[in-house]
Amino acid sequence: MLQAMHEKFETLFGVEAEVSAFAPGRINLIGEHTDYNGGYVFPAAIELGTYGLATKRDDRKIQLYSNNFEENGIVTFTLDDLVFNQEDDWANYPKGVVKYLTETFNEIDQGFNILVEGNIPNGASLSSSASIEILTGWLLKDLFDLRLERLQLIKIGQLVENKFMGVNSGIMDQFIIGMGKANHAILLDTATLEFEYVPAKFGDYVISIMNTNKRRSLTESKYNDRRAECESALAALKKELNIGALGELTLARFNQNKHLIKDEVSRRRAKHAVSENERTKLARKVLAEDDFEQFGKLLNMSHASLKEDYEVTGIELDTLAETAQQVNGVLGARMTGAGFAGCAIALVHKDSIKQLEHEVSQAYLEKIGYAPSFYHVAISGGVTSL
């Protein structure tokens, strides 16, 4: 792929690329919608991701091209015009990164060309957007020799989502894409940003990724609604409890105080955030004990909570996860990422992969009317220069 990208780069921009990099996508094992509630998340980077090539220009122009969005052609703007523009479509992600990087680093004083190509399915909840954000920052770090720390880049990526794109997401996606390690997941405490690499070893079991192939729509606004509902639950609890985030509560303490949350919907949202946080801590513990059965049960419970209490699944994700849960050789399954559409994951015995794909495809096709896709991918490292 890289060779073809180098050739394309020269055709597009008439010069050779100076730097190249790769940023992965991610799955989240468990710990969903906890990262903006000061809770734990447990993601892993995957070998599907985004490749990029870049070179400096002599003027202040920025030219971006994606092999995934050829219909958009070369998107052009300048260093003096770094504002969100609907028409720029996918290019707003790298544009946002450039905006915040130039606010910190005066070294970026000339324009550049970037070509990207990703093999993460877009809109599949595998973080194609965080992947391109982190990739862009990394390319510019190499191109302009910036003293850019990984954590700083991760925070810039989140800022792009929050302030440039208007999605109030947490830090999970950028964090795992910036910090991932091959064959390891990261247990991240989003309240302190302390983290631990945990071997992603499941004995005879593997993680299967199942894609609903449903295009997401309105996800951003629903995502922001969930965050607002959690905030209103927290505000209600704070009238009597001295806490700064839902992630500080055990489920027992939540249950003792949940009557403070008058709104039934917000109460359920908070219940998910608190219970999911407990499941995530437990998942880390049982994984260390090689108790894959228990780990699988936690995946199932997570999905049920995301369906009933958090209401971010939908018929497509439910069909994938709930069908998978019934397959012989599957220990557990759940949606992964923001939800509404995108992907689910299943922990499946390596001899039962074909069976899983067969049974889930049949049920899904019958109920939804089109086929899901399956991926089996290695757990990869974080963003890297090539």
From 131, 188, 155, select the one nearest 383 (Cα to Cα): 131
- DSSP calls for 230-280: HHHHHHHHHTT---SSGGG--HHHHHHHGGG---HHHHHHHHHHHHHHHHH
Burial letters 106-136, b for 16+ CB under 10 A, else e:
ebbeebbbbbbbbebbebbbbbbbbbbbbbb
Q: Which is nearer to ligand GLA, 21 or 338 (CB)?
A: 338
Select from 253, 236, 246 the least CA-distant residue to 270: 246
169 is in an annotated binding site: no
CB of 153 to ligand GLA, least distance (A): 16
Active site amino acids: 173
Inter-axis angle of helices 150-159 and 92-104, nearest 10 = 130
Contact residue for ligand GLA among 50, 120, 173, 178 (CB under 6 A): 173
In the block, which residue shows the tokens 């005066």? 106
* Chain Cα centroid distance, residue 133: 12
What is the smallest separation between the CB atom of 310 and ligand GLA, expressed in angstroms? 10
Beta bridge partners of 25: 46
Q: Counting contacts by CB under 6 A, is residue 35 touching ligand GLA?
A: yes
- In DSSP notation, 45-72 reads EEEEEEEEEEEE-SSSEEEEEETT-GGG
Query: Is residue 180 within the footprint of ligand GLA (CB under 6 A)?
Result: no
- Interface with ligand GLA (CB under 6 A), residue from 135, 245, 273, 338: 338
CA distance 325 to 331: 7
Joined tokens for residue 215: 């295009």
Q: Which stretch binds ligand GLA (CB under 6 A): 48-56, 164-172, 264-272, 290-298?
A: 164-172
Q: Shortest approach of ligand GLA to residue 129 CB, angstroms? A: 8
Min CB(36)–ligand GLA separation in Å: 6
Nearer to ligand GLA, 173 or 248 (CB): 173
3-state secondary structure of 8: helix
Q: According to CB under 6 A, which one of 29, 33, 181, 374 is a site residue for ligand GLA?
A: 33
> Using CB under 6 A, which of 169, 212, 219, 275 touches ligand GLA?
169
Q: 46 exposed, middle or buried (CB, 10 Å; 0-12, 13-18, 19+)? A: buried
131 is in an annotated binding site: no
Q: Which one, of 113, 67, 61, lies nearest residue 82 by Cα? A: 61
3-state DSSP assignment of residue 352: helix
CA nearest 188: which of 27, 26, 34? 34
**Residue 342 touching ligand GLA (CB under 6 A):** no
Distance CA 177, CA 173 (A): 6
Segment near ligand GLA (CB under 6 A); pick from 31-39, 146-154, 192-200, 232-240? 31-39
Q: Does 68 bind ligand GLA (CB under 6 A)?
A: no
Is 161 flagged in the annotation as binding?
yes
Asked if 170 interacts with ligand GLA (CB under 6 A), we say yes
Residue 337 touching ligand GLA (CB under 6 A): yes
CB of 316 to ligand GLA, least distance (A): 17
Count of residues near ligand GLA by CB under 6 A: 11
Min CB(74)–ligand GLA separation in Å: 28
Buried b (16+ CB within 10 A) or exposed e, 28-38: bbbbbbbbbbb
**Contact region for ligand GLA (CB under 6 A) — 25-33, 109-117, 357-365, 378-386?**
25-33
Q: Which residue number, 172 or 363, has a Cβ lying nearer to ligand GLA?
A: 172
Nearer Cβ to ligand GLA (336/352):
336
Q: What are the residues binding ligand GLA (CB under 6 A)?
A: 28, 32-33, 35-36, 169-170, 172-173, 337-338
Annotated binding site for Mg(2+): 129, 161
Annotated binding site for substrate: 32-35, 223
Annotated binding site for ATP: 66, 123-129
